[in-house]
Amino acid sequence: MIGKLKDRYFIKIVPHRGDAIHRFEVTKRHIVGGVAALALAIFGALGVHVVQLYEAHAQVRALQNLTTAQRAQLQAIDDQARQIRSQLQRMQKQNLQIQQLIGVKTNEPAPPRHREKTSRIDEHTGFGRDAASLERRLSALGDASTTTLAQTNALHRLTLRILNLRRVEAMARERMIAAIPSIDPVDGAPVIGCYCYRSAPDAEFHPGVDLGADYGETVRAAAAGVVSSAQYDGGYGLKVDIDHGNGYHTWYAHLSSAGVSAGESVVKGQPIGLVGSTGFSTGPHLHYQIMLDGAPIDPTPYLDGVPPKVLASLP
């Protein structure tokens, strides 16, 4: 039951059993205040809901941006993996070419080849449906990179060793060639006496060649070596004997003077004396004689370089 008295309202609650009656007095101001409080509560709840909805939308946008970034990163990793794989294959090919060029193989096994498979990126979630496959490929790529790098380093060391060895071999070969008579001791003088039997001035075998040259002309060493002797030797007159350390000796006879002495090292082309006519000689010239393992050989093929047959016999 509601009663009204001068802007006041009375609310009476009468139980069915006739118990005590409950009476409440409510003024108009109370009603307005209650309505205002209810309105504030409703608007407050709406405001909280709006804020929560805005935050939810912001989180969704952030997740979408993160997803897009993750998708781009995953695609970039996939592209880089393909590029690295391509570079590795080029390195493997170069390593194989180096092995073929130097004629050896390294102990390291060749890195396994993996078939390239492009990761499919989910446009909605941003995560690769082949993410696990990409991870396996990256792991295999790391193993292949390690193996290929080890193989490349081994090839580099082996190549340097081979190059150094071949350089040493080349230097040794050059020294061997430098110690083989291969030049005309008097710069292209004509041969006026052959390596042959002759009747004048004596009927005997001539074990060298006579090179026509003027008195006092420079005589040069035909190859590198050590002077064995530089002294008078009977009919040879003043003679320089050079030991080339490989079985070869060269003799330069009838000199007017010697510019070297026993024990002295000489190089190919170095002046060792002057043309003369000492000993048994009919005039100024150079008697040039080559001894190989203690026996004379024909010097003629050695006047214009090392003979091809001799070069072919070198290691």
Q: Would you give per-residue pLDDT tens digits along the chain (315 residues)?
A: 444 545 666 666 677 665 666 666 767 777 777 777 777 777 777 777 777 777 777 777 777 777 777 677 777 777 777 777 777 777 777 777 777 766 666 554 444 454 444 444 444 444 455 567 767 777 777 777 787 777 777 777 777 777 777 777 788 888 899 999 999 999 878 999 999 997 766 778 999 999 999 999 999 999 999 999 999 999 999 999 999 999 999 999 999 999 999 999 999 999 999 999 999 998 999 999 999 999 999 999 999 999 999 988 887
Same-domain check for residues 162 and 197: no
Same-domain check for residues 75 and 15: yes
d(CA 191, CA 304): 13
pLDDT number for residue 249: 97
pLDDT number for residue 75: 72
pLDDT number for residue 160: 77
Assess if residue 183 is contained within a domain. no
Same-domain check for residues 166 and 196: no
Assess if residue 166 is contained within a domain. yes
Same-domain check for residues 123 and 20: yes
Domain range for 260: 191-312
Burial class (CB in 10 A: 0-12, 13-18, 19+), 222: buried
pLDDT number for residue 276: 96
Assess if residue 122 is contained within a domain. yes
Q: Is 55 helix (H, G, I), strand (E, B) or coil?
A: helix
Assess if residue 215 is contained within a domain. yes
Q: Which of 156, 178, 200 is the last residue of a domain?
A: 178
Same-domain check for residues 151 and 199: no
**C-beta pairs of 101-104 under 8 Å, 24+ apart in sequence:** 102/158, 102/159, 102/162, 104/158, 104/162
Same-domain check for residues 3 and 120: yes
pLDDT number for residue 116: 47
pLDDT number for residue 104: 66
pLDDT number for residue 122: 47
Same-domain check for residues 173 and 48: yes
pLDDT number for residue 252: 98
Same-domain check for residues 284 and 165: no
d(CA 113, CA 91): 13
Assess if residue 13 is contained within a domain. yes
Assess if residue 157 is contained within a domain. yes
**CATH number for 199:** 2.70.70.10
Same-domain check for residues 147 and 60: yes
Same-domain check for residues 120 and 247: no
Strand ranges of the sheet holding 2-5, from the earlier edge strand across to the other edge: 2-5, 8-13, 22-27
Assess if residue 186 is contained within a domain. no
Assess if residue 231 is contained within a domain. yes
Q: Which of 178, 205, 240 is the last residue of a domain?
A: 178
Whether 303 and 259 have beta carbons less than 8 Å apart is answered as: no
Instruction: Tell me how many domains the chain contains.
Output: 2
Provide the whole-model pTM.
0.54
- Diameter of the chain measured on Cα atoms: 178
Q: Which of 261, 248, 241, 233 is nearest to 292 (CA)?
A: 248
Q: Which of 178, 206, 223 is the last residue of a domain?
A: 178
Q: Is 211 helix (H, G, I), strand (E, B) or coil?
A: strand
Same-domain check for residues 22 and 141: yes
pLDDT number for residue 139: 75
Same-domain check for residues 157 and 263: no
